[in-house]
Amino acid sequence: MLTIQNLLKSVYCFIKNISKKSYRNCAVLVSGFSVFAMVSLNAHGFGGAGKNRSVACSSMKGTEGEAPAENQEQESVAALGDFASSCKQAIESEQSRIKEAREAEIKKREVTAVCASVEPVHNEVQKPPVNPYGDISISEEDYEALLRIVQAEAGGEDEQGKILVAEVILNRVLAEEFASTVSDVIFEKSGGSPQFAPTADGRYYSVEVTGSTVEAVEKAINEKDISQGALFFSARRRANPYDMAWFDRNLTWLFQYGGHEFYTLP
C-alpha cells in the first residue's frame, strides 16, 4: 500500500505544477483519475471496517488469498501509472499546441508589418513620371527636324544638354506665343531673323544625327520636363553681345547647363 501512496503523492505533485491554462483541458482526465483512485483505495481497505474485513478474510483463506491480493495491488499500481502517463502526455501536447499557435501569430504579425512597410515603396516605384508633352502631335517631319536642330545646337553637349535643347522646342509648341508644331517653331522668325541660327547658316542641313542625339530626343519627348519650362537658350561665349544684352534685359534667367544659359518669358 505504501507504493500506491507514493505514486499518488507523485501524481499530486505533477498535477500541482500544471499550467493554469492547461487545467480546463485536463479537467475530465483529472476527474476520472480521482474517481479511479477513490475506488482503488476503498477496494484495498483504507477504511476501518474494510480493513477488519480484509484481515478476517485473509485469516480464513490463508496463503491462498494473499497472492491474488498482491496481484490486484500490482495491477492497480500499473493502471495508476498508465493513467498518470496519459495525463502528462495530454498536458504536454496541449502546451506544445499553445506554443505553436503563439509562434504562428508572431510570424503572422511580422509578415504583416513587412508588407505594410513595403507597399508604400512599391506604389511609389510604380507611379509613372509626369510627361507634359504627351499631347503634342509629332509627325515624321517634325521628328526629323527636332533631331537635326538638337544635333546642330547641342552636338557637343552631353545627353542632358541635348535633352534641354529639345525641351525648349517642345515648350514653345505648348506656349501660345509661338507656333503650334515642332517644324514651325524651328523655322519661325522674329523681326525677320531666324529663331535658331543653324537654320540660317546651313548647319541644320549638314549635320549627321548621332545615336546619342536620338536617345536624348526620345527621352525629351517621353519623360518629365527637366528644363523648368524654358523657352529660350543661348551660348553666351559664342553669341553676339547685342543679342545677349537683349536676353538679359527682356527675359528671366533660369539656370545654366553646359555651354547654354536658359531663359523664359517674364
CATH code (residue 254): 1.10.10.2520
Same-domain check for residues 146 and 109:
no
178 assigned to some structural domain: yes
Whether the full predicted model's pTM is greater than 0.95, yes or no, is no
Q: Which domain-ending residue is among 104, 126, 148?
A: 126
pLDDT at 15 over 90: no
Domain extent for 182: 140-264
For the chain, give the longest Cα–Cα distance.
146
C-alpha to C-alpha distances, 261 to 80, 220, 237, 240, 249, nearest whole angstrom = 98, 18, 10, 14, 14
Query: Running DSSP on this structure, what letter comes out for residue 246?
Result: H
Higher per-residue confidence, 77 vs 230: 230
Same-domain check for residues 36 and 101:
yes
Same-domain check for residues 161 and 106:
no
134 assigned to some structural domain: no
Same-domain check for residues 167 and 121:
no
Q: Which three cell numbers stand for residue 111?
A: 509578415
Number of domains making up the chain: 2
pLDDT at 99 over 90: no
pLDDT at 49 over 50: no
Q: Which domain-ending residue is among 73, 97, 126?
A: 126
Are 181 and 221 in contact by the 8 Å Cβ rule? The answer is: no
Distance CA 162, CA 211 (A): 12
135 assigned to some structural domain: no
Query: The cell 501512496 sits on which residue?
Result: 5
Q: Please tell me the predicted confidence (pLDDT) of residue 55.
A: 45
Write out the H or E segment, with its range, that includes residue 206. Answer: helix 203-206
Distance CA 174, CA 33 (A): 91
| pLDDT confidence bin for 90, thresholds 50/70/90 | confident
pLDDT digits (tens, 9 = 90+) for 123-137: 555 555 678 998 999
133 assigned to some structural domain: no
| pLDDT confidence bin for 179, thresholds 50/70/90 | very high
Higher per-residue confidence, 164 vs 7: 164
Same-domain check for residues 259 and 154:
yes
